[in-house]
């Protein structure tokens, strides 16, 4: 019975998105987009929630209209001789349903434009605090973080001080990647031969997941890293220790690291590769680096068991806080 089926369809269509929303606003830890740990992600969360209310309003209005109209004007055995009227349109109605979306778009556009401009600068919560500069270089398939001031380089993890804006300088060795730490804020692309700036900040201590979110081939799924946000004192203690005890990064080692392949180790060095190469400069990219072998087939089992062997450079393992 079609009308009956239609009713079920409507019910289903209404219940599902709503229940999803309740899940979302429940703000459980798992919904990283709604679980900000810093001011940038906070701005984005507010924007997202603001838009969700309008979108829900639209969905409810249209679904209700839809259900009522279908129910009322469905063909029944009794109304088979009903001939629908010849309506051409209705100017007033058409103006109304053009005007309301216009208003909604304005209501969304203003905060969007504001936020978009705001995110190009360090967060206003920490105005006056000097940002810490960290170069984030994506290589297929690992992350390299260089602290030019502190003269430290880390691989696959990054330590940052809490409540200090971080000025990430994004670039890449090969494929176009994207640095994304959902709990701290949205992504931007890392591109070889050019540099971009992404401001993020943590206002909680903790370890957050970061990753490359832009597809770069075989090892892409494994190109993740940890962000450890620490108290300022802890951070500077770590900096001092590392400067003193971590092995010096050599050119040879660095060239090993950036060869195409999955690398899951967390490595720490004193000195940065910026001393001899900056991939943000035009013309600096993997094609100019002596290549080992660019392609191999990656199987998950290998990746999982691969960490320990064949990396004989004395790396200082560091497992977050």
Give me the least distance between CB of 81 and other proteins, in Å please.
9
**Part in contact with Cu ion (CB under 5 A); list of ranges 36-44, 127-135, 188-196, 236-244:** 188-196
Give me the least distance between CB of 318 and Cu ion, in Å please.
31
Q: Which one among 20, 26, 232, 248 touches other proteins, defined by CB under 8 A?
A: 20
Q: ∠ at Cα 212 (211, 213), nearest 5°?
A: 105
84 interacts with other proteins by CB under 8 A: yes
Q: Which one among 134, 138, 160, 191 touches Cu ion, defined by CB under 5 A?
A: 191
Exposed, middle or buried by CB within 10 Å (0-12, 13-18, 19+), for 32? middle
Give the rounded distance of the alpha carbon of 22 from its chain centre: 23
Between 272 and 311, how does the x/- string for binding to other proteins read (CB under 8 A)? ----------xx-xxxx-----xx-xxxxx----------
Dig out the tokens for 239 from the structure: 């900096």
186 interacts with other proteins by CB under 8 A: yes
Cβ neighbours for 18, distance < 8 A, ≥ 6 positions apart = none
Residues 143 and 154 sit within 8 Å (Cβ to Cβ): no
Cβ neighbours for 23, distance < 8 A, ≥ 6 positions apart = 31
194 interacts with Cu ion by CB under 5 A: yes
**Part in contact with Cu ion (CB under 5 A); list of ranges 124-132, 185-193, 251-259, 276-284:** 185-193
Give me the least distance between CB of 166 and Cu ion, in Å please.
21
Q: Which one among 7, 42, 59, 205 touches other proteins, defined by CB under 8 A?
A: 59
Q: ∠ at Cα 311 (305, 312), nearest 5°?
A: 135
Strand partners, 142: 139
């Amino acid at each position: 019975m079609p009308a009956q089926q239609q009713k079920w369809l409507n019910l289903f269509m209404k219940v599902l998105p709503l229940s999803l929303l309740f899940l979302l606003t429940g703000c459980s830890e798992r919904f990283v987009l709604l679980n900000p740990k810093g001011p940038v992600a906070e701005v984005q969360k507010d924007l997202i929630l603001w838009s969700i209310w309008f979108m829900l309003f639209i969905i409810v209005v249209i679904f209700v209209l839809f259900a009522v109209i279908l129910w009322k004007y469905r063909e029944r055995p009794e109304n088979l001789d009903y001939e629908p009227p010849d309506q051409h349109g209705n100017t007033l109605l058409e103006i109304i349903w053009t005007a309301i979306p216009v208003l909604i778009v304005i209501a969304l556009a203003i905060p969007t434009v504001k936020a978009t401009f705001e995110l190009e600068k360090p967060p206003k919560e920490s105005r006056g605090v000097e940002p810490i500069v960290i170069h984030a270089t994506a290589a297929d398939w690992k992350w390299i973080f260089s602290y030019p001031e502190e003269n430290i380089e880390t691989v696959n993890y990054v330590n940052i001080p809490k409540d200090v804006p971080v000025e990430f300088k994004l670039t890449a060795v090969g494929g176009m990647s994207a640095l994304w730490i959902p709990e701290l804020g949205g992504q931007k692309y890392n591109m070889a031969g050019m540099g971009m700036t992404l401001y993020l900040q943590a206002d909680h201590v903790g370890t957050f997941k970061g990753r490359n979110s832009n597809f770069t081939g075989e090892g892409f799924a494994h190109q993740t890293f940890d962000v450890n946000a620490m108290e300022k004192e802890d951070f500077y203690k770590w900096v001092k220790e590392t400067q003193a005890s971590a092995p010096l990064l050599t050119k040879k080692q660095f060239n090993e690291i950036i060869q195409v392949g999955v690398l899951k180790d967390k490595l720490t060095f004193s000195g940065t590769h910026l001393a001899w190469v900056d991939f943000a400069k035009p013309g600096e990219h993997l094609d100019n680096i002596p290549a080992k072998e660019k392609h191999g087939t990656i199987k998950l089992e290998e990746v999982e068991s691969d960490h320990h062997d064949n990396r004989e450079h004395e790396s200082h393992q560091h497992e977050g806080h």
